Amino acid sequence: MMVMQTKNVRRRRAALAAALPGCQPAGRVELQPSVAALTGKGASRLSHTGNDAQTITTQLLTGPAIAASLDGIASLRLAIFREYPYLYAGRREDELGYLRIYAEARGAFVMTVTDSGTLAGAATGIPLCHEDRQLLAAFAGASHAVDEIFYLGELLFSPAYRNHGLGLRLLAEVEEHVRSLGSYRYLTCATVVRPASHPLRPPAYLPIDRFLARTGFAALAGVTTSFTWLEIDGVKRDHPMQFWLKALR
């Protein structure tokens, strides 16, 4: 789940937020740092059992407390998004510029997942009203109010931590936190659309669509956008993005 964004897109986020009712412009509000355990009783524990029993720790970060995590999340994104279906040849400076909004925008958060101090996964979220004009334009014909939607930027795990149920658990933590904010009725995310015949599609590839459908998301008909990024073969290409929505009960 992700959206690649250009430098101009990132610059427009703060200006757009200022023009939307109920949105505070990112970078103009005083935010108090917060580092919270997701269970409220010390760090939340997610069990991951592989060849050896492991216990990893999740942590919720908001406001300026997010800043210290951004370099690690940028590294995670740069590694994972080189994989299919993204094939993204990113630059660290662009990643850090994109991620900085999560430390500046009111209501945004980062959840980190660590194993013995090593970053194993992460989730990011932000009120949809803080996103850029191109992304918001996709919702122009939708029947859902933008200020009632929370945007899940990504939910990522390093390869060794996938397919153990951790994604389901982390998504549940994300939903619990967004519900606790009290202002949002829906969670949305975007996925890149690739043809099944793509030459770089791995034989055992499982589309993220299956995970989203299992967890209550539905693809929004006609709610799409397109972003351009540099792929690992050195060519910039346009990429259609499909939005998904889940009601938060």
Domain-by-domain residue ranges, the chain?
A: 7-247
Q: Is the model's pLDDT at 231 over the cut of 80?
A: yes
Nearest residue to 76 (alpha-carbon basis) of 115, 117, 121, 126: 121
pLDDT of residue 240: 97
Q: Is the model's pLDDT at 29 over the cut of 50?
A: no
Give the list of residues 6+ apart from residue 66 with CB closer than 8 angstroms, or none. Answer: 102, 103, 108, 109, 110
CA atoms of 125 and 140, how far apart (whole Å)? 21
CB 88, CB 232: distance < 8 Å: yes
Q: Residue 238 CB: number of other CB atoms within 10 A?
A: 8
Retrieve residue 83's tokens: 């994989």
pLDDT of residue 124: 98
Q: Hey, what CATH class is 7-247 in?
A: alpha beta
Kindly report, residue by residue over 103-133, the tens digit of the pLDDT: 999 999 999 999 999 999 999 999 999 998 8
Length of the chain: 249
Q: Is 205 helix (H, G, I), strand (E, B) or coil?
A: coil
| Residues β-bridged to residue 49 | 53
What's the DSSP call for residue 231?
A: B
Q: Is 225 helix (H, G, I), strand (E, B) or coil?
A: strand
CA atoms of 116 and 50, how far apart (whole Å)? 16
Kindly report, residue by residue over 151-198, the tens digit of the pLDDT: 999 999 999 999 999 999 999 999 999 999 999 999 999 999 999 999
Kindly report, residue by residue over 54-109, the tens digit of the pLDDT: 688 999 999 999 999 999 999 999 999 999 999 999 999 999 999 999 999 999 99
* Helix (DSSP H) and strand (DSSP E) numbers for the chain: 7, 9
> What pTM value is reported for the model?
0.84
Q: Is the model's pLDDT at 232 over the cut of 50?
A: yes
Angle at CA of residue 166, ends 203 and 221, nearest 5°: 65
pLDDT of residue 21: 40
Q: In a 10 Å sphere around its CB, with 0-12 CB exposed, 13-18 middle and 19+ buried, how is residue 30 labelled? A: exposed
